[in-house]
């Protein structure tokens, strides 16, 4: 894995996994989830990247602006910034790997961003993991998580409308989020891997041509220090890609 910064002002953190063995000339971009979900999924996404690189794919993982190891504060970033970041990462992978074709794995709300990407760029294989295509669905999820926190913590929050499960967001975050509706993605192959408690199956079925249900827990609303590592999901995603 080669870590580097790219994008505007070299502000986005990237982890590039060079293809091993015989390169396929095919790039894989991993669009991880956002906020606390992204931190918890990092380990699993790294495993997917390692496995795909071992099979000859050039793989790029990255952190969105204001998240993970990228530069900036979370409260300064917007959803349109993150959409742009995804496009930058797609182009960066093509430049770094010289790949002829590219696929994308999009997790949770990154699915919404990836759909927009798919309408601008050519994607071979688009795989969703527990996707949230609708901004309102993600907002509901964030608010549900917030409600589960102890009241005493919430009493002293300086701006309850801007803090979501520990992350302090920009002023227009909610408005921007609810304006994000599902759209039809474009890719040669479209599939989704869903875990046991995933709620929006019908939406996914209307978007993806293949939907695989995995009988595994994936507690997206779990504790922020609990790393997610659903082996069955990782296997299923790798199978779909390779």
Partner 1 sequence: MRSIDLKTTPLLLNDAGLFGIRTAPVADNSALGVVILNAGMVSNVGPFRLGVQLADALARLGCTCLRLDQSGKGESSIRPDVAASDAALLDYDDAFANLARGSIQQTVLIGVCSGAVDALRIAARRDSVVGLILLDGYVGKTPRWYWHRGLHALRWVRSAGLQGTLTRLLERLRSASSITKNAALTGDLDWPVADLPGSYQSVLGRDVKMLCVFSGNYLPYNHAGQLARFLSIGGDRANFREIFLRDADHIYSMKHHRDRLISILSEWVGGEFTKKNL
Q: Which residues bind partner 1 (CB under 8 A)?
A: 1, 3-5, 13, 15, 36, 39-40, 42-43, 46, 67-69, 71, 74, 149, 152-153, 156-158, 163, 165-168, 222-227
Q: Which is nearer to partner 1, 152 or 202 (CB)?
A: 152
Least CB distance from residue 39 to partner 1, whole Å? 6
Q: Which is nearer to partner 1, 7 or 68 (CB)?
A: 68
Least CB distance from residue 161 to partner 1, whole Å? 13
Least CB distance from residue 4 to partner 1, whole Å? 7
Specify which residues 15 forms β-bridges with: 3, 61
Rounded distance between C-alpha atoms, residue 29 and residue 53, angstroms: 11
Q: Which is nearer to partner 1, 23 or 222 (CB)?
A: 222
Q: Which is nearer to partner 1, 24 or 168 (CB)?
A: 168
Least CB distance from residue 177 to partner 1, whole Å? 19
Q: Which is nearer to partner 1, 63 or 130 (CB)?
A: 63
Least CB distance from residue 151 to partner 1, whole Å? 12
């Amino acid at each position: 894995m080669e870590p580097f910064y790219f994008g505007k002002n070299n502000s986005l953190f990237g982890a590039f996994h060079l293809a091993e063995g015989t390169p396929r000339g095919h790039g894989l971009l991993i669009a991880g989830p956002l906020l606390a979900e992204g931190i918890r999924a990092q380990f699993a996404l790294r495993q997917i990247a390692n496995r795909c690189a071992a099979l000859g794919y050039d793989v790029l993982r990255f952190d969105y602006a204001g998240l993970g190891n990228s530069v900036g504060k979370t409260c300064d970033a917007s959803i349109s910034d993150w959409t742009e970041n995804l496009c930058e990462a797609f182009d960066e992978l093509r430049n770094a790997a010289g790949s002829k074709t590219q696929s994308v794995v999009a997790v949770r709300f990154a699915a919404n961003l990836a759909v927009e990407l798919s309408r601008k760029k050519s994607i071979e294989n688009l795989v969703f993991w527990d996707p949230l295509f609708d901004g309102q669905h993600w907002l509901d999820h964030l608010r549900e998580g917030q409600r589960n926190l102890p009241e005493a913590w919430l009493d002293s929050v300086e701006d309850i409308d801007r803090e979501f499960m520990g992350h302090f967001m920009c002023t227009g975050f909610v408005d921007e989020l609810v304006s994000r509706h599902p759209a039809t993605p474009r890719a040669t192959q479209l599939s989704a891997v869903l875990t046991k408690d995933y709620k929006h199956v019908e939406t996914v079925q209307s978007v993806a041509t293949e939907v695989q249900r995995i009988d595994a827990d994936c507690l997206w609303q779990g504790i922020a220090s609990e790393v997610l590592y659903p082996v069955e999901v990782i296997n299923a995603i790798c199978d779909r890609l390779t």
